[in-house]
Structure 1
Amino acid sequence: MVPLFVRWLHVLAMAVALGGGALAWGVSRTADAEATLAVATTYELAFWGALGTLVLTGVGNLGALAPAIPRGQWGGAFLVKLLLVVALALGSVVRSAAVRAASDAETPATATLERGYAATTLALTMLVALGAVMAHG
């Protein structure tokens, strides 16, 4: 029962991260600076909570496989996924700093936020694809 709960929590956290990123990207493309910053500020809180949940539940899911962690193509996909998660986290620190800077600016640069949310959404989509490949071979 616990492994199933952990998997569902993992999927829910990814839905929050990816769905919120897509929403923030869409809003940053179409709305004014005030609405963009409101959505961006809310998303940053949700994103970091979701990322923490994804990392914890990802470790839990991996622990369910131990000690028989597959090698070969699955292991290669897993390594790529880990590297992409690290890149996402580092890029997200920059994105969060850009949101903070835009919040403090008299004229916020929402084009920078749009690029940040586009990159976040793309990276999360790639992580979902890798997860599907790893889960289903």
Structure 2
Amino acid sequence: MKPEERFQTESETEESLNEKEESKRYEETNEEKNSYEFSKAVLSLDEKSKQILFDSLYSAISNTNQRDSVLHLVFTKAKKILRENGTLEGSPETDTEFSNLVSNLSSQVRQVLYDSVCSAIENQNERDTILHILFRKAEKLLAESGK
């Protein structure tokens, strides 16, 4: 192989690697932008729907339901409300998708999520802040776990 052919091949390989890196960065940025769509959708609900969702959360925690039951109930209810409002597409069968993703997280991670929302309630944060903490943290934990 001639020296200039080797140089050309190395340059092409370098360009190819640079393109792959740029593509990966673009995908990661896009994933980051899309990763919080569920929490944004919840926070954009009308006041009545947000209150219903918050009341369900507060009631489930107050009635000392198990952590996983509370999380399942709230995430499923949120998906149902978003679907019924036309914000998200789906069917009643898909209402548990997000909840199932969260339930596949490790027990420790689910406990962190539950503790965060309980702490927010105990600190008497406002409704929208509590909902934001719950849904945003859930999405962040899912993204970190790669699910």
Q: Is the TM-score greater than 0.5? A: no
Structure scoring higher RCO (CA < 8 A, sep ≥ 6) equals 1
When the two structures are superposed, what TM-score results if normalisation uses the length of structure 2? 0.35
Indicate the structure with greater helix content. 1
When the two structures are superposed, what TM-score results if normalisation uses the length of structure 1? 0.36
- Greater C-alpha radius of gyration: 2
